[in-house]
Amino acid sequence: MFEPESPTTSGRSTPFHDFETDQQLEDNSTDSESVQNDDLNVDKYPFMKPCPYANDVQALEELEACDYTQRITYEMACSGQTKRRVRIYADGIYDLFHQGHARQLMQAKNLFPNVYLLVGVCSTELTLKMKGRTVMNGLERYEAVRHCRYVDEVVANAPWTLTDEFLKEHKIDFVAHDDIPYSGAGGVGDIYAHLKERGMFVATERTPGVSTSDIVARIVKDYDLFVRRNLARGYTAKELNVSFLSEKKFRLQNKIDELKNRGRRVKVDLLTRWEAKSRDLMKAFLQAFGRERLFSIWRESKGKIMSAWGSNTSLAEESYIDSDQDDSEDEYMDAMSDSGSLKEVHAAAADNANNSSRSSSLPDVGPEHF
């Protein structure tokens, strides 16, 4: 478990001291033990631990091992031919820690081949005095920074202006910050000007399009939506600093939206059912009149049509043959009558008939009569 310590004689303060100030200024009810749950079981994560604070044993051992009498110039640091790690210090508020902060610290860590990165985080009291109110309290901002993988050490309750005593105390070789002049007390001057003159300043680039002020502006722009969301999640109007009438208005809006969403869900459910029913009907139709079934019907119909067509053709051929025979007989009789042979035929037929009658009237004469 994380045990807060009292401020050291060197002027480095612990997060606990700043957290008490935050509680006084902001009436923050956050439990310091609940904020530091990661510190309760750090043995579970032997390879991924948060970096130490400046007054932790690990940081103090690193500080003692640094031979600050060997001053490192910019050229020496760039060459990588140094006998010790280059100690670079970056400072800021780091409120609502975002990718712009992480990218700045990444640049500071990669300025030289062998860097030990110290990050100073200003207290809430100092920030409120010099810049304005923060969203996160001091301990939350310290913890956010010390869990960034580029950071080797966190200096809590960091000063606004870097003095020579502070630089020597932490054995700082270079200070990293963006090159935009940063004002000191009274809003005038550049707090990094003396470091730039001494060659102890290295510039990093700001990430365009993202800043803590931009994030706060988004929240303010959609204030009603965020309040309604948090009310729906169980926050009270007092916790959100919302008046009684505003609370009722927001809750009414939430209820209307809930009814609208319910109506949409019912509509979607009906459409889903209709679609499922349509699929079933289409499936049944395809089973009854699908491709194979249609081909089967076509084959059956085609067979019937061809059979009927064949019967009609046979009947037509038979009637045609009969009519041909009748016509031939008529033509033959006409030809015979025209040539006069018809009379001869009739006469021959009559002679044959008479001969037959005479032969039938003669007695039978057998061989015995001769």
Q: Which string of b and e fits 289-300 if b means at least 16 CB within 10 Å?
A: eeeeeeeeeeee
DSSP secondary structure string, 133-181? --SS-HHHHHHHHHTSTT-SEEEES--SS--HHHHHHTT--EEEEESS-
What dihedral angle (degrees, nearest 10) is formed by the CA atoms of 229, 231, 237, 239? -70
Quote the pLDDT of residue 177: 95
Residue 134 backbone phi and psi in degrees, to 5: -105, 160
**Lowest model confidence (mean pLDDT) among 12-21, 176-185, 219-228:** 12-21
Lowest-confidence pick of 123-137, 176-190, 277-291, 321-335: 321-335
User: Among residues of the chain, what percentage have pLDDT more than 70?
Assistant: 68
pLDDT, one tens digit per residue, over 308-361 is 776 655 555 555 555 555 555 555 555 555 545 545 545 555 565 555 554 444
Mean predicted confidence (pLDDT) in 73-79: 93
pLDDT at residue 305 is higher than 90: no
Q: What's the pLDDT at 354? A: 57
- For the chain, the straight-line distance linking the first and the last C-alpha, in angstroms and rounded, comes to 167
Mean pLDDT is lowest, of 21-35, 79-93, 336-350, for 21-35
Task: Return the pLDDT at 243.
Answer: 83
Query: Would you say 103 and 86 are in contact if contact means Cβ atoms under 8 Å apart?
Result: no
Token reading at 26: 């902001």
The pLDDT, as a whole number, for residue 325 is 52
For 124-172, the pLDDT digits (tens) are 999 999 989 999 999 999 999 999 999 999 999 999 999 999 999 999 9
Q: Is the pLDDT of residue 116 over 90?
A: yes
CB 189 within 8 A of CB 154: no
338-353 in b/e form (b: 16+ CB < 10 A) is eeeeeeeeeeeeeeee
The H-or-E segment that residue 331 falls in is: helix 291-339
Q: How confident is the model at residue 246 (pLDDT cuts 50, 70, 90)?
A: confident
AA identity, residue 29: S
Give the pLDDT confidence score for residue 244 in this predicted structure: 79
Domains of the chain by range and CATH? 45-204 (3.40.50.620), 212-302 (no CATH)
Percent of the chain at pLDDT above 90? Answer: 37
At a CB cut-off of 8 Å and minimum separation 6, what does 35 contact? 139, 140, 143
